[in-house]
A and B are shown apart, each in its own frame.
Chain A
């Protein structure tokens, strides 16, 4: 009985704190995305780049983030996993991570005009074979930032 009670308390606490962190994070991501809407254009997967404009600088820019789900998300996903279908509680974690990594890369590019060939690389840092481990995902976004000479 005490076990079930303890589990319920953990679930309620992680749900309250976790959903609040997620909400705030999404709010911040949206604000930053709107602020950067006219800033460097990014292309994904265009390896050739040609321009007639004079080039000032070319450099590799990266943005990285390690994001983690919470205990409530894991619990919900475990139940959903039994029936199959979309694990929506994890989808939002991965979505947040990727958007955050891309935003950091764009912020690092500063005054660059274009970021070419953006790639997103990710790996799970937790022990995926351990049944109790909550997913943690490390994401690196990288691309070539090109600044034109005015």
Chain B
């Protein structure tokens, strides 16, 4: 599965369009990590626990989008966007969406 956030896939031709696919996830860390981040918050700097959370959320959103694209028998997703929203403090939503397409290699 090829995922890009531009309008085409370099080196490949778009054969057919399969429609829009999307995946979203809302994730939160456990209370202890929240308390740890609260302490870190006072002195500043990077909050590693929340960065992990964001990575997991992004992975899961993109994977769900890819799952949907596979159901449509597509082999690529183009023009992918990632959108985020804060649901409550300590939880993050990541939403990934794009256009599923069927791709073929350009010969020569």
Question: Contact residues of A with B, CB < 8 Å?
Answer: 10, 13-14, 17-18, 21-22, 25, 46-51, 54-55, 58-60, 62, 64-71, 73, 93, 100, 116-117, 119, 121-127, 133-134, 136, 138, 140, 142-144, 146
Judged by DSSP, the binding face of B is mixed
Q: Interface size (B, Cβ < 8 Å)? A: 40
Once bound together, how far apart are the Cα atoms of A21 and B90, in whole Å?
A: 23
Take A58-B11, A66-B50 as given contacts and tell me if A121 and B82 are in contact as well, using a CB distance cutoff of 8 Å.
Answer: yes
Take A123-B85, A125-B92, A138-B50 as given contacts and tell me if A14 and B42 are in contact as well, using a CB distance cutoff of 8 Å.
Answer: yes
- Whether the Cβ atoms of A68 and B47 lie closer than 8 Å is yes
- Whether the Cβ atoms of A65 and B9 lie closer than 8 Å is no
A sample of 17 inter-chain contacts (CB < 8 A) reads A22-B44, A58-B2, A59-B3, A60-B5, A60-B62, A60-B80, A66-B51, A66-B53, A67-B47, A70-B42, A121-B83, A123-B86, A123-B92, A136-B41, A140-B58, A143-B5, A144-B6
Once bound together, how far apart are the Cα atoms of A55 and B103, in whole Å?
A: 14
- Whether the Cβ atoms of B40 and A68 lie closer than 8 Å is yes
Which 7 pairs, one residue from A and one from B, show the smallest C-beta to C-beta distance? A70-B44, A55-B11, A66-B50, A18-B44, A21-B45, A127-B89, A144-B4
Q: Which residue of B lies closest to A21 (CB)?
A: B45
Question: Which residues of chain A have C-beta atoms less than 8 A from B85's C-beta?
Answer: 123
